[in-house]
Amino acid sequence: MSTGQILEEVTKYENDQKEIKSELLKMCWYMRGGVTYQEAYYLTYEDKLLIGDIVEHNMETTRKTGLPFF
């Protein structure tokens, strides 16, 4: 690989890492302390997807009912 290709890969990995961290922190926020960042970090990919589905379902229910979320 050329230096440019290596730098592109490193940048891609850095962006992936930031996205994962962002998703984990959002999950912790939505869980209101029910899951710590450390615990969220060690969840399986499937667990993260399932929790994300639950959060999305609850957000949709909140939108439909007009109940306050925050």
What are 8-55's pLDDT values in tens digits?
Answer: 999 999 999 999 999 999 999 988 889 999 999 999 999 999 999 998
Of 19, 68, 69, 12, which Cα lies nearest the Cα of 48? Answer: 19
More confident residue, 8 or 67: 8
Q: How far apart are the first and last CA of the chain?
A: 49
In angstroms, the CA 34 to CA 27 distance is 10
